Amino acid sequence: MKKKSENNSSPLGKPEGAKLRINGHSHLLPYPEEIPQFMKDKGIFWVDKDRKYMLQKDWSRPVTDSSFFLNEKLEWMERFNIDHAVVLNLSQLYGNGLRVEEMKQALRFQNDFNARIQHENPSKFTCGFVVHPGFVKGACWEIERCVEELGLQLLCLPTHYMDTIGTWRCIFDEENEPIFELASKYNLAVEIHPYDGEKFIKLENTSWRFHLIWMLAQCADAYHFLTLNGYQDKYPNMRTCFAHGGQLAQINLGRRIQGFDGRPDLFEGKSHPRKAVGHKNIFFDTLVHDTGGLQLLIKNQGSKQVLMGLDDPYPLGEMESEKQSSYPGKILDLAIEQNIINETERDAIWEDNVIQWLCGDDEKAKKELVKRILNT
């Protein structure tokens, strides 16, 4: 006779029928007192003592929700029945434009902070770590430290970065292949997130244009080069997720295909865009803001390549809002009402797809993650 636990458990060790709600795109700020003094002295990044502003030299933005901070985040997750969150790095700490030693110290602080959050709250958070690709050897050393010493499995990278001579480059330029080789070796999930567009796109920073328009173009550019270089196949154990649904990457897919076919002389030795569509190693989160965008994303890539991403607690995230009559997860509820997805697909976007991105085909890692979330 089988044990009761075997009768009532799924292959991943969950109670039969239980569905997890895992948010694959979240952000967390250190409390002001947790940020080293050198970060403020050098103007790198800090939070004021009243927790009202994030600050850098010549830059600030308001802290728009208390759930930027740990205890308040846990309360927010409890209120909206979110079982687990994937915490990315702070976009302000990609390190572009910093002196080498300052960059290393700042990124190391970010990674150590995220590791502590995960280790102290294992059932609630899976946290990422960040490296600066402009220094490939140093980036690889930090990857090794974060994986082997800190136990982290999510590599956070920007869409674009400044190299050692001040030139802005795409993250999927070929000189970064040692990073991707190491990510594949360690079976890492990779998150691609845009930032710093105003530093290399020569337009006046007005009407929030870099957040509302150019961030989406940055993701599309990174997706363009990931797929042209065929990295989804070349590095088979590396699984890449694009923030914000990789949104412009969806609507210009046909243009990329026609351009590749129409000007083959510009793409010698490159992989055809069609080969990447719906690829098992390329994921996109749900933060596309309307069901039309979600429908296009799912039509292009398939629902299995889409995972829940709230981008909380930023004002562009899927947060609670009376003005927009919104709440975390509403876009999937609307998608069911409009027959874009069914309930099985919704549950997979919240759970299975996030776990597949984080763990790949490593069934042992999947079971360990679920066990950690369930605190069993």
Q: And the tokens for 179?
A: 């990073």
Average pLDDT over residues 137-145: 97
pLDDT at residue 214 in the model: 81
In order of start, what are the domains of the chain with their CATH numbers? 23-374 (3.20.20.140)
pLDDT at 200 over 80: no
Strand partners, 241: 191, 283
pLDDT digits (tens, 9 = 90+) for 162-194: 888 888 999 999 999 999 999 999 999 999 998
Task: Answer for the pair 130, 107: CB distance below 8 angstroms, yes or no.
Answer: yes
pLDDT (0 to 100) of residue 30? 97
Predicted local confidence at residue 5, as pLDDT: 36
Q: Dihedrals φ, ψ of 125, to 5°?
A: -135, 140
pLDDT by residue (tens digit) across 201-250? 888 889 978 888 888 889 999 999 999 999 999 999 999 999 999 989 99
- Residue 64: Cβ-neighbour burial (10 angstroms; 0-12, 13-18, 19+): middle
Tokens 């799924």 belong to 10
Tallying the residues shown for the chain, one arrives at 376
pLDDT value of residue 325:
82
Helix runs in 164-234, H state only: 177-185, 197-200, 209, 215-228, 231-234
CA quadruple 240, 246, 251, 255: dihedral, nearest 10: -50
Cβ atoms of 198 and 147 closer than 8 Å = no
| Predicted confidence (pLDDT) at residue 4 exceeds the cutoff of 60 | no
Which residues are CB-contacts of 263 (< 8 A; sequence separation ≥ 6)? none
User: What's the chain's average pLDDT?
Assistant: 93
Q: Most distant CA pair in the chain: distance in Å?
A: 71
Structure confidence at residue 14 as a pLDDT band (50, 70, 90): low
What the block records as the tokens of 104 is 């290393």
**pLDDT tens-digit readout, 82-118:** 999 999 999 889 888 889 999 999 999 999 999 999 9
pLDDT (mean) for 146-164: 95
Rounded CA gap, 50 and 31, in Å? 10
Q: Which residue has the tokens 């085909």?
A: 361
Q: Is the pLDDT of residue 10 over 80?
A: no
pLDDT classification of 2: cutoffs 50, 70, 90 = very low
pLDDT, tens digit, for every residue of 16-67? 667 999 999 999 999 999 999 999 999 999 999 999 999 999 899 999 999 9
In contact, 24 and 285? CB cutoff 8 Å: yes
Residue 7: what pLDDT? 42
Looking at the chain, the whole-number percentage of residues with pLDDT higher than 70 is 95
CA 128/CA 115 separation, integer angstroms = 8
